[in-house]
Structures are given as structure tokens and as C-alpha cells.
């Protein structure tokens, strides 16, 4: 399982290099290429909502943010990150502080957590 995560992170690193070191305009394939490279094992772990797979996926969410100038991508990264945040336990939420800050959804996630806490207390 550790090798599966390692490979997913390695492939994601290549995606970051393509996006952040590009001197030309980005194509959707630069952004979403990682999704086609990850293994079926990782996809199964993601489908099972393992904390580690979700945490790795949170780092992917930063990349599509680069396409938010396109109307069809507006809010995509924030939406994914919000859902991941809801699925993670407190320990693993700490793992994804950087992607949250990069996307700029920290206040929204905090607000969402508070509102759910208040609703469950009623």
C-alpha cells in the first residue's frame, strides 16, 4: 500500500512540474494528466476513502485551480477540497493545510465545520 501512495505522489510531482514550470499557456491535459496516470490501486483506496488517499488527492486539488479563469472550472478546486475536508479526521486535516491555504478555502471550511457542529448539537 505504501508503494501505491508513493507512486501517486511521484506522478503528482510530475504534474506540479508541468504546471508550475510551464512557460506556455496550460492545457487541460497538463492539469488532469495525473488522473490518467494514477494506478487502479490508488483509485480503489480513494474510492474506499482512506485518509491517506484523500490527503494525497487534496494536493491534486491545487493544480486545477490554475484553470479557474475558465468559467467551467470556477469553484472546482474549492468544491473538491471542501468534500475532502469533510471526510478527513482531525489528524489528517492537519496534513492538508498547505493545499487549503493555496486554494484559499480555510475560512469556508472552518465555517462549514462550525455550522455542522451547531446543527448536530440541536
From first to last of the 122 residues of the chain, give the pLDDT tens digit: 899 999 999 999 988 888 888 767 777 777 788 999 999 999 999 999 999 999 999 999 998 887 777 777 788 888 899 899 999 999 999 999 999 998 887 666 656 655 665 566 66
Evaluated on CA atoms 9, 11, 17, 18, the torsion sign reads: negative
pLDDT value of position 63: 87
Q: Is 111 exposed, middle or buried (0-12, 13-18, 19+ CB in 10 A)?
A: exposed
Q: Residue 68 class from Cβ within 10 Å (0-12 exposed, 13-18 middle, 19+ buried)? A: middle
pTM of the model: 0.81
Amino acid at each position: 500500500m505504501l508503494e501505491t501512495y508513493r507512486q501517486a505522489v511521484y506522478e503528482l510531482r510530475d504534474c506540479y512540474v508541468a504546471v508550475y514550470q510551464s512557460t506556455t499557456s496550460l492545457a487541460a491535459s497538463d492539469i488532469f494528466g495525473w488522473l490518467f496516470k494514477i494506478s487502479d490501486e490508488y483509485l480503489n483506496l480513494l474510492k474506499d476513502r482512506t485518509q491517506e488517499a484523500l490527503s494525497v488527492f487534496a494536493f491534486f486539488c491545487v493544480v486545477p485551480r490554475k484553470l479557474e479563469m475558465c468559467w467551467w472550472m470556477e469553484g472546482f478546486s474549492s468544491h473538491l477540497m471542501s468534500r475532502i475536508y469533510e471526510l478527513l479526521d482531525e489528524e489528517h486535516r492537519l496534513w492538508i493545510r498547505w493545499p487549503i491555504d493555496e486554494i484559499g478555502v480555510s475560512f469556508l471550511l472552518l465555517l462549514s465545520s462550525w455550522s455542522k457542529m451547531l446543527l448536530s448539537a440541536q
